Chains A and B, each alone.
Chain A
């Protein structure tokens, strides 16, 4: 039986209030959610609580040994740890640059492609390819093309002469993080483009026409119509990207695992937490770091949602 959901007749969805279920139905519903909830509670929610508890102990991974209670000392340790501050600075810088970069470029490309042009589907696919390629693969590709005398070095140094050749992009403590930022932006532009294209296409074209009739030029149209109407989309995207960029882990891990690690210049909060827990076996400190990280993301996300909440209707 084919049912058309596109029909705008409002059908009665989920049961109205006040209906009484038979106890058999009740049990059935609970059984329905049981497996999923169990998996979620045990492997997603419980680890969060577990980590929280861990952060207050000098956690000994050996189950037979007792872990001494440490109170807030793990958290205090973070605030007197220069590497923590370095990691924090790095990840904030990385997030700001990559989020703004991706959004600006993604929006620009979306505006570019938001017109009747041939091959738009092909363009969308090409721009989206970096997005569907795994982080492990793109990191190794970027290490390759940014190696000294590699593709980028050659093009920008020897051909375009924009910069001195033979740069050690990923070994130099000043260049490593910016190179990762380029990677982050490159990988994300396509996703931004797709989301913004969808948002742009929901803006009624009559608004543009009306503005043009009133004599607005492209920039005014952009500022007064496009941007305000895109605000909820921009808000959503910025929160999602912020959380993603702040949690960056794989590129840094791969870069430093080969011993290229330029002295914590690419260290991020999560990689530092991870290495404390799983390399130095200081689980308590690692857990505390992840909670500082989570608190920060949570606050930032709340702030961003607040700032971008108001929707405008014309």
Chain B
């Protein structure tokens, strides 16, 4: 009896050791993968701090030997990335507010009321989601130039706000699931459609609205194709356009280029790191459909 007990223990320990090494190995693989994901971004960051003569040296180094802030200063003031940053803030924020407001109004109506045309309009919106925004740039450009909306921040804001389909889709389910009793009780007190929306539905929908806002903001902040098509005035450039223009004009000044990209990327990365759960909940919401 004792002998088999010892044998079992030995076998069990061997089994556990095997599993332990396997777990460790997989952990290392995961780390290696994460490393590959992150290295390009780290290299960008380190190059941003390198004076130009050390860029693209062989062998390449990850930690700059003579770090400097000069590139950032040059980027922000001399090349007006500061102005582009401001433009991006204005456009992205305004467009996001409009998108969240209008799409929640649509989602609330689609989700809680019946009216002729409801199904048609909703599925029409959904259908347009299969068409990527880039496709629309050509006709939108023709339309915008006829309306004198090219070369203007409003032209950007309007087109960015029009991309509501995904937000409406995400929010509709959320509004649908709100208990009717809330609205009935309010109706007894004389609450109409708009009041139900603004005083009951919207406040309750805050987490979903946050997720939608984050998605919309990051899409608007990074948008490039429409911006470069419609804007010619370099004082009106948004950050992605400013970066691309600078790169195509000063291709080898990598230090300043990456200082600018760092300025562009830091807000989004910070938002992501702080508000991760909203990114994930947005994806989960999209998948439920």
By a beta-carbon cutoff of 8 Å, the part of chain A in contact with chain B is 1, 3, 5, 11-15, 17, 19, 21, 24-26, 28-33, 35-37, 39-40, 42-48, 50-51, 54, 61, 63, 105, 109, 112-113, 115, 117, 121, 123-130, 132-138, 140-142, 144-145, 147, 149-151, 154, 158, 186, 189-191, 194-195, 198-199, 233, 236, 243-244, 247, 249-250, 253-254, 257-258, 270, 273-274, 277-278, 283, 286-287, 290, 293-294, 297-298, 301
**Chain A residues within an 8 Å CB radius of B102:** 35-36, 39
Give per-residue flags for B173-205: 1 if the beta carbon is below 8 A from chain A beta carbons, else 0: 000111111100000000011100100000010
Chain A residues near B51 (CB-CB < 8 A): none
Task: From B44, B47, B112, B158, give the contact of A43 (CB < 8 A).
Answer: B158
Chain B residue numbers with a CB within 8 Å of A273 are: 135, 138
Tell me how far the C-beta of B251 lies from the nearest C-beta in chain A, rounded to whole angstroms: 6
In the bound complex, do residue B30 and residue A283 qualify as a contact, i.e. CB atoms below 8 Å apart? no
7 A-B residue pairings within 8 Å (CB atoms): A14-B114, A36-B103, A39-B98, A48-B131, A48-B136, A186-B37, A294-B135
B236-268 contacts to A (CB < 8 Å): 240, 243-244, 247-248, 251, 254, 257-258, 261, 264-265, 268
CB distance A48 to B105 under 8 Å?
A: no
Give chain A residues whose Cβ lies under 8 Å from the Cβ of B140.
43, 47
Closest Cβ–Cβ distance, residue B197 to chain A (whole Å): 7
Report chain A residues within 8 Å CB of B56: 144, 147, 149-150
Instruction: Verify A283–B138 contact, CB threshold 8 A.
Output: yes
Of A30, A54, A112, A244, the residue contacting B29 (CB under 8 A) is: A112
A36 to B121, CA, bound (A): 11
Interface residues of B in 49-80 (CB under 8 A from A): 56, 58-60
User: Given the complex of chains A and B, what is the CA–CA distance between A130 and B222 in angstroms?
Assistant: 13
Cβ-defined contact, B131 with A294, below 8 A: yes
**Contact (A32, B197) CB under 8 Å given A133-B265, A286-B138:** yes
Which chain B residues lie closer than 8 Å to A128 at the CB level?
272, 276, 279
Contact yes or no, B273 A125, CB < 8 A: yes
Ranked nearest first, the 7 interchain pairs of A and B with the lowest CB-CB distance are A134-B222, A43-B162, A28-B193, A36-B102, A247-B132, A47-B139, A11-B179
Tell me, rounded to whole Å, the shortest Cβ–Cβ distance linking B88 to chain A.
11
Chain A nearest CB, measured from B215 CB (Å): 11
In the bound complex, how far is the Cα of B168 from the Cα of A145, in angstroms? 39
Complex Cα gap A292–B137 (Å): 16
A126→B218 contact, CB < 8 A: no
For A112, what are the chain B residues with a Cβ–Cβ distance below 8 Å? 26, 29-30, 33
Q: Which residue of A lies closest to B111 (CB)?
A: A14
Pick the contact of A35: B23, B105, B137, B280 (CB < 8 A). B105
- In-complex Cβ contact of B105 among A36, A126, A129, A199 (8 A): A36
A130-B165 contact, Cβ under 8 Å, with A11-B181, A25-B192, A258-B248:
no
- Judge whether A109 and B193 touch: CB under 8 Å: no
Residues of B within 8 A of A199 (CB): 287
- Closest beta carbon of chain B to A84's beta carbon, Å: 16
Total contacts A-B at CB 8 Å? 278
- In the complex formed, the residue of B with least CB distance to A24 is B192
Q: Whole-angstrom distance between the alpha carbons of A17 and B114 in the complex?
A: 8
B155 to A: closest C-beta gap in Å = 10
B164 touches A190 (CB 8 A): no
B210, CB-defined interface residue at 8 Å: no
What does DSSP make chain A's interface, helix, strand, loop or mixed? helix
B41 interfacial contact with A, CB 8 Å: yes
Quick one: given A14-B112, A24-B192, A54-B142, are A134 and B224 in contact (CB under 8 Å)?
yes
Q: Which residues of B contact A194 (CB under 8 A)?
A: 280, 283
Q: Are A130 and B41 in contact, CB atoms less than 8 angstroms apart?
A: yes
Asked whether, in the complex, the Cβ of A244 is within 8 Å of the Cβ of B132, the reply is yes
Q: A39-B102, A249-B134, A257-B248 are in contact. Are A45 and B158 (CB under 8 A)?
A: no
Quick check: A113 and B30 within 8 Å, CB to CB? yes
Chain B: minimal CB distance from A254 (Å): 6
B284-A198 in contact (CB<8A): yes
The one of B136, B225, B244 that contacts A249, using a Cβ cutoff of 8 Å: B225
> Chain B residues near A233 (CB, 8 Å)?
287
Contact with A290, one of B114, B125, B135, B218 (Cβ below 8 angstroms): B135
Residue from the set B141, B218, B287 with the largest chain A CB neighbour count within 10 Å: B287
- CB of B213, distance to nearest CB on chain A (Å): 15
Cross-interface CB contact of B37 among A15, A25, A130, A140, cutoff 8 Å = A130
Q: Answer whether A283 and B225 are a contact pair too, CB < 8 Å, given A117-B27, A134-B265.
A: no
In whole angstroms, how far apart are the Cα atoms of A157 and B180 in the complex?
66
Contact A33 B138 (CB under 8 A): no
Docked-complex contact A132 and B218, CB < 8 angstroms: yes
**Is B15 part of the binding interface, using a Cβ–Cβ cutoff of 8 Å?**
no
Q: Which residues of B sit under 8 angstroms from A130, Cβ to Cβ?
A: 37, 40-41
Instruction: State the CA gap A137–B221 with chains docked (Å).
Output: 12
Q: Is the CB of B192 within 8 A of A3?
A: no
Most chain A CB inside 10 Å of its own CB: which residue of B134, B135, B161, B229: B135
CB distance from B224 to the nearest CB of A (A): 5
Inter-chain contact B224/A25, CB cutoff 8 Å: no
B81 located at the interface, meaning its Cβ lies under 8 Å from any Cβ of chain A in the complex? no
B20: Cβ under 8 A from any A Cβ: no
